[in-house]
Structure 1
Amino acid sequence: VDAGPITTAPTDGGVTDGGVLVPFIVELRLTAQRIDDLSNERLDVTVEPPSLFRVDLDLLNDDQVAVEAQRLSLILAATMGDAGIVDGGTAPDAGGSSGPVGMTDAGVSIDDELWDAQLALDRAREQFLALPAAKRIALLDRHGERQREAEEAGAGGTDAERRAKRAAQERAKSLEEAKQADTASLRLVAEERARLNGVQELQAKYDHGLQRADKELSAHVDEAIEWGAKVIELVEKLKRGEAAPAQADLLYDMLTPRLKLAREDLARAIAALSQAGKDAPSAGPSRLADLDAKVDQTQAAALHQEVDEEHRRLRDRAVELAWQRAEILNRKMESLRHARLALLPFLSAGQDSSLAGLGAPGIAQATEETRLALVKIHFHGRATTRWVAKLVGGQRDRSAAVGAALTTGKVLLILIVFAGWRRYLRRRVQHWRVAARDRRGGKGALRASHWEAWVSLLLRVRRPLEWLLLFALVLWLVGPDVSARLEVRLLWLICGWVLGGRLVVGVLDELLARQSFLSRRETETSKLRLRSLRLVARVTVMLGLTLALTDELVGAGTIYRWVTWLCWLVALPVGALILRWWRPTVFKRLETRQHHSATAHWVLSHRQGWTRMVATLLGSTYVFGVALARLLQSAFGRFDVTRRLLAYWFRREISRKAGEDDQQAPLEDIDELHYAAFAPDQPSSEVLPAIDDQVRARLDTALVERRGQLIALVGERGSGKSTLLAELADRCDGALSIKCPPGGLDEFREALGQALGLGEAATDPAIRRRLTERGSAVVLIDDVHRLVRSRIGGLEALDGALALLGVDQVQDRTWVVTVDAVTWRYVQRARGAQPVFDEVVRLEPWPESRIAQLLRNRSKALGIEPSFARLLTEDPIDELERNALLERAETNYYRLLWDYAGGNPAVALWFWRESLRLAGETEHVVQLFEAPVTDDLEGLPDHALFVLRAIVQIDRASSDDVLAATKLPDPRVREALRYARLRGYLEVVEDRYWVSWAWFRAITRVLHRRHLLGGGPA
């Protein structure tokens, strides 16, 4: 059995029936270890080798040694062979044995441990005695030499011992001089020197004691390192599966008394700090004060001063040594504590449960952890007090004092700035809040704007956030020398948990209030919500702070696990109390809903009786689940994918509710005037809300510079290109604005001649001269894509138009043209963008917010205030909730339009006007629009889809244009055109076809899915 490198016997340690090693077992193992040390020439010189064997055994007598070795060999052979025990095994339960006295948690009896220890000792003795006589005698001689060397090294004594001897000799000499003195004065001087020499002797002995105590401190360090190494080695073996949990139990039990002893030693060391240095021998008052000044006192005075200086040195040294002892013992205690904690995860189940339970072992462990924490706090408190006293008293070096002064100045400056900042921010935030309320949009708007919501959140979290930031900044300024101290760490833990709890309560309450129908008002529900959050936060902070402090002071031991269990126990009454508070509100919420789910029905039918608590819990879960879903919807609603999913879900809910509410009053179409005003191609006088400021800035720069640039505005049909061009025409004085007709280059020439006042028959030279004479700095051409055809040579008309305008010749003019996105992809593939156009400005799909703004502005301009009452998916409790539901329905419906339109404002306008109906004479009601069903469209043959693609690409295409673009037989083209017109896919304007707004998005998406249009679907 490997007893391990035990070097010292425990004072209280051994195994009892509670699992602690008895001294006898430890003594056996210690003796075996010392025999091994003797064999390896490292036995302590204070130990005599004969004491490790039988008293009557002479280690130098070969006959006695041989007999003893043979006896031990026979005993070991009989024990391990005849008894059926393998090497390293344990004793059998012999018939005459009374059985194990007690069992440890690992299942090993005390008799087994005693047996193993005795076997280990017998084996060690047998191995040493079996050595050859020459080697045995050589080992004994070598140990004797080591003892003599140690004795000779100490014969001369230490410096302190030599000083003590010299002081004693000087004292004797002074006493002899006193006897031989002629006068009483001289005798008194000699006696004073003798007294001071005696004090010097005492000081030397005192110094020797300090030196001896200083050397003893290293033993504590070595012990901590040794136990740490043992634990690390065992833990590694346990991780690899090379050791059993019983070994962890054994080592844990061995560590426990040593940790207790280290804690007691530290407590005694702390108590001794106040008396440190007070027992240092001092000279005391001089006895020569009243002596005649004529008597020579020079030697006595010098000796008195020397003794005083030595006294001060010894006193300071004693204080410093006392603090060193306390610090080393504290580190030893912490090292042993961490070593013991490292064993906790590897203990056997029985040992672990006994330590974590409420039985005697658990209570003893918790008591010891409490005492350990108190000693630790006491030590660090004394250490910090000493550190502050040194700092204030100027006992530290000058550079450290200067650094401390600078740090203190920085902290004071931070505190002054913090105080001023708090006053400023308080006034500023209140000003922001008032300004945000004044800017809140919408008539009777219930919800606050985003800016007001952020300001309100800042008001809620400002105080705890300010203090947390202040503490963090101060800790950063003072540096690790201060922030690493236990008191500072504990203070940071307390402040972090308390202020963090307030911060979390403020954030959660504000976020929940933002989603609540009753937000921004002092209502019963909001007060109850805040009350519940505060209760949960206080309990959480109390338990969490206890766990954090316990982990910081004593680690995750018994108290830590007790507090963890307490968390679950406290959660039950706290949860029951919160359910009791919310029970009336939950039932009221469920009662006021007209359409109840099966869960709501069950909850409402079990409000009384013993199932009331279960019903309250289930109802609360249901209600708060709905609220959580709304919160998540709001949080993730800014993502396009989420918005599209929400739009799909909203359509499903509206369709389902429409099927249930068949008894609503019928609606009528809006009047033709309003219907026409919502037309997508209706000119708009408002500034486009979706044009990015950077786009406007780029256009403005190009218009001002006049460097002969040709700029292309590229966007999907209906994205606002024409409106933007009209806006540019209004802003540029003298700009020439032309709308490209669908008939190609000839019709474009006629339109350009009319715009210049030359008539339709104007020639190219005349047009160029008039352009030069007109001197227009800006030329705006809309729908240039009508000059492009998707065939070989399809860009000839575009090139001719650009040449007619003199794009390559005039350097002080800016040309801005609009191009459809579908045609633009063909231009890019055919020629590339840059060789034709100097700059390309793309109009991206409009975001949801700007689509909603466009629809609101257009409705407001027509004096229409749409009602979304028929789109409510829930039954409101009161008027406040009704307003909030209406606001949510409005947002969801705009999102639905945005999703279907793919960010195209023209498509959104078309379906918006299809959604408006009249209820009565003046009320405009919004109903769910009917999106075109694409089943028939998906089933069209390929040639029909080719025809639709050609019309989308050309825009206002004649049948001949379609024939030229598709290369299909004339009958098939005419058949496809007829069918598409009958189905409403196409409209005919002046014998030219174009895709109707009702089917534009459906057709483009089908063509994209069939890979007949470049780019991705909108």
Structure 2
Amino acid sequence: MEIEVAALRELSSGKLPESYDIRKLFEVSLLDEAAVALRVELLKSQSQSQIATQSHSNDHTAPGGNPKSDETQPEPSPSPASTPPPSDDAGNEPTPTPVPTPTPPPSPPTEPELEARLAQLQLVRDQLRLQILELPAEKRKELVEAEEKRQRILIEQAEAARARAEAQTARQEAELARQSALEEALLAKSLAEKKIAEERARVEQMRGTLATLRVQLAGERKRHADQMAGALEKLDKYRQQVADVRTDTQTADATYDQIVASLTLGRSQLEQALNALGKDPKIPTYVPQIDLTDPMFDPVAEERAKLTATTTEVEAEIAAMIAEERDAQWTRVTELAGDVAPLNGLRLELLPLLSKDKRKDVLGLTGAGFAQFWREVRQIDLMTRFYVRSTARKFKVAISDPQRLIDLKSSSWIVVQLLGLVVVILVLGRRFDEVFHQLRGHVLSSKRDKNVQLLLERWLRFLQGVLPSISLLIFFYLAFHVLKAEENRELRFVKVFFLAYAWYRIVVAVAHQFIVGAAQARRVVLTPELNERIRTSVRLTARYIFPVVVFLIVSERILGRGYLYGLVVKFAWLGAFPIAGILIHRWRPSITRSYLEGFPDGRLAEPMRRVKDKPSGIFVVTAAVFPVIYRGVRLAFNDSLSRFKYTRKAFAYLFRKQLEQHADSAGQSEDFSEQLPEELKAAFNQGPAPAELRIDHFPMLPKVAETIRSWHEGGSTGAVVVVGESGVGKSTWLAELARQVEIPG
């Protein structure tokens, strides 16, 4: 248990124990969040119970009890007469020197002392376990990945040593076999025997060459494993340094430079390893010098069969070595790619701890900043190449491996789920479209306040336009859930692009429907050309924002929020200028018309009229954009408030109060109306208006009502069609007709 406690102490300080697998220190997996949470609660209760028990035991210890185990008994004073003093050469009696009495060995600990010591170790072990289990999930994952990598390195080192020893033995055996074959060739009695013996010598020579090559490859594997071990040790050291750096900016700056140097070296090694993937391994091939199917070798069929078997073994060994070398190359690429990510994470973790000048130099538009920019661009390129090759390799292995094909067939349930999901989304999408059409018709035909009707109808139309994009987003979420994308790195990467595209569609649909709804609320005639111009303008803006957002997401996943991420965030707004120029050019006639209608006497009105059709007028139109936007927002806000009855009453009340205050300030609160002309006072009469001044709210209603009455009295039937644009009052007209005439059902 003392070994476990020592290992846990090293692990809690951020260092991997040298000779202990950290996965064996815990009863649960450090990556299982549910199991970790349960284990934390159990350890807390156990620790509290152990502390209470030890406290209770100490309170009841007798004063004259056994001394503590770590106390030492006083050594007895040596006896002067224990040994006779020697005499010198002159015969004088020397001064006696005391000889120490040997200290008796310590008495073994008693059983209660052992139990107390064991209980103390258990308490310390549980507290250290609890400290590590309460680390954030990312930190625990880093520890597990580091331990797994260390175990892989140990296995690789052992395998390399074993392969080297076996290859050396095989080389010696091949050399002996070659010498034996050459001797047989010299003693051959026929030409056929001689040629077969010589060919067997060539085969054995090839076997020896392959064995020599295996020794070299084993040495390279050992060297690569040692490099990985050194990289892991260096990463462990950097983690400790980053954990220790808090306020010492000088140490933080030095550690940052060391990490950047290690990252640069790691990227160079990764690039070399990626370039080596496309090259064929340097494994020699064997080409027979004789044709064993020649009839001349029929008398020596037994020797021919042995040579054929040996040749087959050598060819199989060549193929195996090629496959092993490619696997070793890919393993090296994977390990190097895995080394870059944690180093970059430590670099980002150090950024806030750097000195002010260092941080300004690293993140600013300086030489160091641009150097970091190109380093991050290089890493994005390397990791993209790695992910592409990794995906292609996994797909190739899945197709070529029969066992994976069986697994693929067994996963047909996933395919069925995806197909079912597609069908459900399509059917529900079409059904919801019909439902929204019916709801809009029901709202417009209901006997409600007209403003409420229009408001509900616009919201339903808005939702109907956005629904397809929302359905696409839901489909992507469910599809990647069925595919278990969180368990696959490549699928997680692809999921980012699909979800970003779905959100892009939603943003475009929402913006388009919002602008169209605002235009229709202002009674703007929405022609197909105008609708398409609105849609293309929204898409133009979204198509600039979409790649920027995707790049930021990918950059954060590969590099974190480093120099490149901050650079894009700082300067992404520059893209708004060309987009604004394109939009102003497209909407120039509409902007000009809106400004002249809203501000006929404005400062820009006269210049706008002069350069209305000239190229230089684009500058005047650009200056008029903000007043037009302000006027449109103000009118839309006022129009939205005016749709509600109580808001209209409030506006009327405020307007009346303003008039009264104005009248009071002018001193005309009582008799100002007497000064008005008689014609104007007559127009403000509260009585009913004359017949010639009345506005016909229900055109042709008396005629239609009389026609319906005649149909009813004569027993005949007919049809009346009410035609008009949305919102002109068709439902109100029909309601008045129903009130005046009893229409038979």
**TM-based fold match above 0.5:** yes
Aligned to 2:218: 211
TM-score (norm 2): 0.57
d(CA) in 2 for partners of 1:284, 1:326 = 36
Aligned to 2:707: none
1:580-623 superposed Cα distances (whole Å, 9 cap, x missing partner) = 77787678668767xxxxxx89x934656799866643553464
1:42-121 to structure 2, matched below 5 A, reads none
Q: Among 603, 624, 629, which residue is 2:633 paired with?
A: 624
Aligned to 1:556: 561
Tell me: CA distance 1:193–1:273, structure 2 relative to 1, closer, same or farther (3 Å). same
Residues 1:566 and 2:571 are matched in the alignment: yes
Tell me: CA distance 1:319–1:409, structure 2 relative to 1, closer, same or farther (3 Å). farther
Aligned to 1:436: 440
Q: Among 312, 330, 335, which residue is 1:328 paired with?
A: 335
Aligned to 2:539: 534
1:72-119 superposed Cα distances (whole Å, 9 cap, x missing partner) = xxxxxxxxxxxxxxxxxxxxxxxxxxxxxxxxxxxxxxxxxxxxxxxx
Q: Residue 201 of structure 2 aligns to which amino acid in structure 1?
A: A
Residues 1:199 and 2:199 are matched in the alignment: no
1:659-674 to structure 2, matched below 5 A, reads 659=660, 665-666=683-684, 668=686
Aligned to 2:256: 252
Q: Residue 653 of structure 1 aligns to which amino acid in structure 2?
A: L
Tell me: CA distance 1:439–1:341, structure 2 relative to 1, closer, same or farther (3 Å). closer
Residues 1:379 and 2:380 are matched in the alignment: no
d(CA) in 2 for partners of 1:570, 1:327 = 38
Aligned to 1:980: none
Tell me: CA distance 1:285–1:654, structure 2 relative to 1, closer, same or farther (3 Å). farther
Tell me: CA distance 1:278–1:236, structure 2 relative to 1, closer, same or farther (3 Å). closer
d(CA) in 2 for partners of 1:156, 1:882 = 87
CA drift at 1:468: 2.8
Aligned to 2:377: 370
Tell me: CA distance 1:188–1:406, structure 2 relative to 1, closer, same or farther (3 Å). farther
CA drift at 1:625: 5.3
User: Any stretches of 5+ residues in structure 1 without a counterpart?
Assistant: 6-149, 594-599, 638-642, 672-879, 888-1018
1:841-900 superposed Cα distances (whole Å, 9 cap, x missing partner) = xxxxxxxxxxxxxxxxxxxxxxxxxxxxxxxxxxxxxxx99989xx9xxxxxxxxxxxxx
Tell me: CA distance 1:466–1:386, structure 2 relative to 1, closer, same or farther (3 Å). same
CA drift at 1:500: 1.7
Tell me: CA distance 1:629–1:508, structure 2 relative to 1, closer, same or farther (3 Å). farther
Aligned 8 A contact 2:178 2:200 in 1: yes
Q: Among 592, 601, 604, which residue is 2:602 paired with?
A: 604
Aligned to 1:477: 482
Tell me: CA distance 1:653–1:206, structure 2 relative to 1, closer, same or farther (3 Å). farther
1:289-340 superposed Cα distances (whole Å, 9 cap, x missing partner) = 3242221224323322322332232222112111111111211222333333
TM-score (norm 1): 0.43
Residues 1:460 and 2:465 are matched in the alignment: yes
Which shows bigger deviation, 214-223 or 321-330? 214-223
Aligned to 2:502: 499
d(CA) in 2 for partners of 1:376, 1:632 = 54
d(CA) in 1 for partners of 2:567, 2:326 = 40
Aligned 8 A contact 1:281 1:311 in 2: yes
Tell me: CA distance 1:326–1:309, structure 2 relative to 1, closer, same or farther (3 Å). same
1:930-969 to structure 2, matched below 5 A, reads none
d(CA) in 1 for partners of 2:562, 2:555 = 8
Aligned to 1:799: none
CA drift at 1:393: 2.4
Aligned 8 A contact 2:588 2:621 in 1: no
Aligned to 1:171: 178
1:449-499 superposed Cα distances (whole Å, 9 cap, x missing partner) = 5664454234422443333333333322222378521xx455433333343
d(CA) in 1 for partners of 2:635, 2:229 = 63
Q: Among 546, 561, 568, which residue is 2:551 paired with?
A: 546
Aligned to 1:262: 266
Aligned to 2:130: none
Percent identical pairs in the alignment equals 21
1:995-1014 superposed Cα distances (whole Å, 9 cap, x missing partner) = xxxxxxxxxxxxxxxxxxxx
1:750-793 superposed Cα distances (whole Å, 9 cap, x missing partner) = xxxxxxxxxxxxxxxxxxxxxxxxxxxxxxxxxxxxxxxxxxxx
Tell me: CA distance 1:412–1:528, structure 2 relative to 1, closer, same or farther (3 Å). closer
Q: Which has the higher strand share?
A: 1
Aligned to 1:982: none
Q: Residue 626 of structure 2 aligns to which amino acid in structure 1?
A: L
Q: Which has the higher helix share?
A: 2
Aligned residue for 2:189, secondary structure, equals: coil
Aligned to 2:149: none
Tell me: CA distance 1:522–1:205, structure 2 relative to 1, closer, same or farther (3 Å). same
Aligned to 1:522: 526
Tell me: CA distance 1:355–1:478, structure 2 relative to 1, closer, same or farther (3 Å). same
Aligned 8 A contact 2:361 2:369 in 1: yes
Q: Residue 502 of structure 2 aligns to which amino acid in structure 1?
A: L
User: Any stretches of 5+ residues in structure 2 without a counterpart?
Assistant: 1-14, 16-156, 608-618, 664-672, 674-679, 690-724, 733-745
d(CA) in 1 for partners of 2:167, 2:386 = 31
1:337-416 to structure 2, matched below 5 A, reads 337-397=344-404, 400-415=407-422
Aligned to 2:654: 653
d(CA) in 2 for partners of 1:543, 1:270 = 28
Aligned residue for 1:158, secondary structure, equals: helix
Q: Among 422, 427, 435, which residue is 2:426 paired with?
A: 422
Tell me: CA distance 1:171–1:614, structure 2 relative to 1, closer, same or farther (3 Å). same
1:888-916 superposed Cα distances (whole Å, 9 cap, x missing partner) = xxxxxxxxxxxxxxxxxxxxxxxxxxxxx
Q: Residue 269 of structure 1 aligns to which amino acid in structure 2?
A: A
Kindly report the root-mean-square deviation, in angstroms, between the aligned alpha carbons of the 2 structures. Answer: 4.6
CA drift at 1:657: 5.9
Aligned 8 A contact 1:164 1:202 in 2: yes
Aligned 8 A contact 1:177 1:190 in 2: yes
1:854-1003 to structure 2, matched below 5 A, reads none
Q: Residue 203 of structure 2 aligns to which amino acid in structure 1?
A: L
Aligned 8 A contact 1:518 1:881 in 2: no
Aligned to 2:229: 222
d(CA) in 1 for partners of 2:642, 2:252 = 52
CA drift at 1:186: 2.4
d(CA) in 2 for partners of 1:179, 1:512 = 97
CA drift at 1:667: 5.3
Tell me: CA distance 1:323–1:628, structure 2 relative to 1, closer, same or farther (3 Å). farther
Aligned to 1:508: 511
CA drift at 1:218: 2.9
Aligned residue for 2:526, secondary structure, equals: coil
Aligned 8 A contact 2:351 2:359 in 1: yes
